[in-house]
Amino acid sequence: MVKIDKKDKRILEFLDFNSRASLSEIAKKLGYSKQLVKYRLDELQKKGIIKGTYGLLDIFKVGYGCYRIFLKFQNLSEKKEKEIVDYILRLKKVKRVIRIGGEWDLVFVVWTKNLAELENTIEKLTLRFGKWIFNKYISIVAQFSYFRYKYAYDTEDFPSFTISLNQETVQLDKIDEHLIEILNKDGRIPIIKIAKKLRLSPVTIKKRIDSLLEKGVIKCFRLIINEDKLDYFNYWVYVKFKGLNPERIEGLVNFLKSHKNVLSVSKSVEKTDLEVNLFVKTPKILYEFISQLKFKFSDIIGDFVWYAIYS
């Protein structure tokens, strides 16, 4: 476990939803010297606590659908599993691959603009590796709510960002698409570097980033904190409702938003109604979290399933 002190925690908190902030901005806000901020940031990255930064894209606003494809394997060697994972990572529409424990072995996340693109992605995988895939299941994501890394630092501030289906879309040109792709990989990349990559002036790049933020295409710039370095374990808890009570569901989401261990909540339109991503130090804390949900929201929650996230 890597230990972090109060100064580190304040820097992490400030950058959580504002990871493009300059050293001067951070220093001014927190009352530290610019040199101290730079040293602390470098150390947090060197120790692996900050894994990266990214621009949080409202995928629905730019016309994408989001799908999670769950896979259960059979007769699979470690070498073959690596081959399958490497192949999935190379597929153009795939944004993330996650190893999980329990009923399923692997989940990969796909963004597509139509069902034909989704079908094509799954077909490519099935044609090549179908004999090793025992079962698969597709979850359609309808909404994401993103919260702070509250478990990593002490805060009573609970801002959030939510992106949902059923909204007007924004048309992007090729330059904006390339810009989003760059910012999605590195939220702190300097404007001068982006300008060189896209062969445009820094002024033009700044205007385009500001425009994407103003339109809500990019909601904010986030940190990626490495929970392993802080001795936390990652879980998904899937919740199935037994009745739809909008007021009580809103109460549940607000409870999750303020919970120290919850990082995000998503809604789907398939087997489960709510997926909760949380980070805990021990299985006992996971058990206590699920017990809280059972007792507080027994009138609307019918069932739970949870999965350990390994990568």
How does residue 263 score in pLDDT terms, banded at 50, 70 and 90? very high
**Which CATH number does 6-59+169-225 carry?**
1.10.10.2890
pLDDT in tens, 111-151: 999 999 999 999 999 999 999 999 999 999 999 999 999 99
User: What pLDDT score was predicted for residue 166?
Assistant: 78
| Alpha-carbon span 192 to 195, nearest angstrom | 5
Bridge partners (DSSP) of residue 146 are 161, 264
> Which top CATH class is 143-164+226-309?
alpha beta
- CB proximity list for 189: less than 8 A, separation 6 or greater: 182, 183
CATH 1.10.10.2890 in the chain, residues? 6-59+169-225
| pLDDT(271) > 70 | no
Mean of the per-residue pLDDT values for the chain?
Answer: 94
Cα of first residue to Cα of last residue in the chain, in angstroms, is 18
| Alpha-carbon span 78 to 57, nearest angstrom | 34
**Which CATH number does 65-141 carry?**
3.30.70.920
How does residue 1 score in pLDDT terms, banded at 50, 70 and 90? confident
Mean pLDDT along residues 39-61: 96
pLDDT in tens, 99-109: 998 889 999 99
| Alpha-carbon span 213 to 84, nearest angstrom | 36
What predicted TM-score, i.e. pTM, was given to this entire model? Answer: 0.89
As a whole number of angstroms, the longest Cα–Cα distance in the chain is 59
CATH 3.30.70.920 in the chain, residues? 65-141, 143-164+226-309
